[in-house]
Amino acid sequence: PLAPPSEPSGVYGDGNTEDKITIYWLAPNDNGYPITRYIIESSNKLNPVWKIATREIPSSAVEVQNHLFKSVEVLGLKPNNLYKFRVRAINKLGVGRPSLPSADYRTSSSPPKRAPNDVGGGGGKVGDLSITWTPLPPEEQCANGIGYVVYWRVKGNPNSKWSKHVMTGQASEYYALSGLNYYTLYEVKVQAFNNEGLGPNSTISSIYSAEDLPRAVPIDVFADTYNATAIIVTWTPPVNDRPTMRGKILGYQINWENNDVEDPIRYSQSFYGEISEAIIIGLFPNGYYWVTVQVFNTAGLGPLSEKYLGSTGMDAPLNFPTEVTIYSKDSSSVAVKFRGIGFGIAESPVTGYKLCYQSVREVWNLENCKDIGFVESGVLDNLEKDVLYKLRVLAWSADGDGKKSEAIYFTLGGQIVFDPSSYSLLADSNRLSSSISILILCFLYIITWIY
């Protein structure tokens, strides 16, 4: 039957060098259509996956040996690698089955053909210059005895000569001692070698040696009340230069102790970035705290700043408004009245009140509140018809928002009695269900009966 060619046979190699070999084979049965092309596939013992080594060689370009064997030169092989080869034939009907694999053939050894990738580094312990790279994979080492030569010198110094260190084996990192040259810019490069010789140098990369502990100290430290449980700490950052910072500013650490207790515990929190203020939260109301600031880099913390005594504020209002009532005002607004609150000795004076409201279909967003000032009534306007709303009222002071009243439900018609668990909406509109309308009528009937 007509079909793609059968598998070639007798595959073998000869004349192998460090990067090429000549492959020979016997042509297969063409199965009814002339063979037009051949494909050579290779498999590397270190990476045993069959890959196309030579793509679709025209039959006319294949050399014929002794009127029997066909041959082609396979290029682009890697030195000191063990290869197998197989051949496929192609005709008009497609690609035929592969031949049986050849015997193993090792290419000749050579010095490394390429340099290590990803040369870089930096950081490490104080006094170190950390140099890193990606080592050559086994199939690219080209011979036995792999190793690496690491070079470094101070960048920008015309008198700086290349230092070097030879490392045998499959290494990927070297720590050179930079001594007093903390946070200094270096040029580095890496070269692979093996028993056959040296490979090419990598491109030159620029990296910094490890940082040293900062000598810089933040000044003008100040701590002020932020609210009842937080203070805001400010400072003037130190000069960000090499002699004082001995590296690059990574951030600041704020330390605090409670002045109101004996033998206080010292707490700390780190803040990253070149900043000049930070907020410490989770403190006790009406408390006094000693505060210090330290700058830090990758090597660690600098010296403590001078202490500053700051205080938290008083409690925000601990009670919530009561006797909240809502009634209709006009076609787009309602009026709200409530009984305000007093404040205790530990609370800061009430500054005003806020009305927090939204549709019952929405999740509470208590930041969406209307400040009505220091009065016990207010108006909510721009309301929508046939929408059920919920309202909570709170008092606020200089130390924050107080507790919130229980939820009250209303429409443009005024306050209603409402059980949130029985709430339902029409599937495709914002209109209230008939059950809510019945509740409104019941409420109006009760009010009429009372009065």
pLDDT tens digit at each of 451 positions of the chain: 799 999 999 999 998 899 999 999 999 999 999 999 999 999 999 888 999 999 889 988 887 877 789 999 999 999 999 999 999 999 999 999 999 999 999 999 999 999 999 999 987 788 789 999 999 999 999 999 999 999 999 998 888 899 999 999 999 999 988 777 889 999 999 999 999 999 999 999 999 999 999 999 999 999 999 988 899 999 999 999 988 999 999 999 999 999 988 889 999 999 999 999 999 999 998 899 999 999 999 999 999 999 999 999 888 898 999 999 999 999 999 999 999 998 888 788 899 999 999 999 888 887 789 999 999 999 999 999 999 999 999 999 988 889 999 999 999 999 998 887 765 443 333 444 444 454 454 445 455 545 5
196 three-class SS:
coil
From the list 7, 127, 154, 16, the residue with the least C-alpha distance to 81 is 16
Domain final position from 177, 208, 239:
208
Asked if residue 90 and residue 156 are part of one domain, the reply reads no
* The pairing of beta strand 173-177 with beta strand 128-134: antiparallel
Asked if residue 358 and residue 273 are part of one domain, the reply reads no
In a domain? residue 3: no
Asked if residue 234 and residue 204 are part of one domain, the reply reads no
449 three-class SS:
helix
Q: Say how far apart CA 253 and CA 268 lie, in whole Å.
A: 7
Asked if residue 240 and residue 156 are part of one domain, the reply reads no
Q: Say how far apart CA 232 and CA 312 lie, in whole Å.
A: 9
61 three-class SS:
helix
For the chain, the domain total comes to 4
In a domain? residue 441: no
Residue 323, Ramachandran bin (φ over 0: left; ψ between -120 and 50: alpha; else beta)? left
Contact 290, 307 (CB under 8 A): yes
Asked if residue 143 and residue 62 are part of one domain, the reply reads no
250 three-class SS:
coil
> For the domain that residue 186 is a member of, what is the CATH number?
2.60.40.10
Asked if residue 245 and residue 204 are part of one domain, the reply reads no
DSSP 135-170: PPPGGGS-SSS-EEEEEEEETT-TTPPPEEEEEESS
pTM for the model stands at 0.63
Q: Say how far apart CA 60 and CA 62 lie, in whole Å.
A: 6
Asked if residue 336 and residue 423 are part of one domain, the reply reads yes
180 three-class SS:
coil
Distances (CA, A) of 276 to 29, 266, 291: 83, 21, 14
Can you read off the two tokens belonging to residue 187?
Answer: 């040029």
* The pairing of beta strand 230-236 with beta strand 277-280: antiparallel
Asked if residue 294 and residue 250 are part of one domain, the reply reads yes
Contact 321, 378 (CB under 8 A): no
Asked if residue 245 and residue 183 are part of one domain, the reply reads no
In a domain? residue 345: yes
In a domain? residue 445: no
Q: Which residues contact 289 (CB under 8 A, 6 or more apart)?
A: 223, 231, 256, 257, 258, 259, 280, 283, 309, 310, 311, 312
Q: What is the pLDDT of residue 181?
A: 82
In a domain? residue 400: yes
In a domain? residue 443: no
Q: Say how far apart CA 412 and CA 313 lie, in whole Å.
A: 40
Residue 431: φ, ψ to 5°: -75, 150
Domain final position from 311, 331, 360:
311
422 three-class SS:
helix
Asked if residue 227 and residue 187 are part of one domain, the reply reads no
Q: What is the pLDDT of residue 430?
A: 41
Q: Which residues contact 220 (CB under 8 A, 6 or more apart)?
A: 234, 235, 236
Domain holding 248, by residue range, is: 219-311
Domain final position from 208, 228, 246:
208
In a domain? residue 446: no
DSSP 377-399: EEEE-SPPTT--EEEEEEEEETT
Asked if residue 307 and residue 226 are part of one domain, the reply reads yes
Asked if residue 156 and residue 89 are part of one domain, the reply reads no
Q: Say how far apart CA 145 and CA 349 lie, in whole Å.
A: 81
In a domain? residue 353: yes
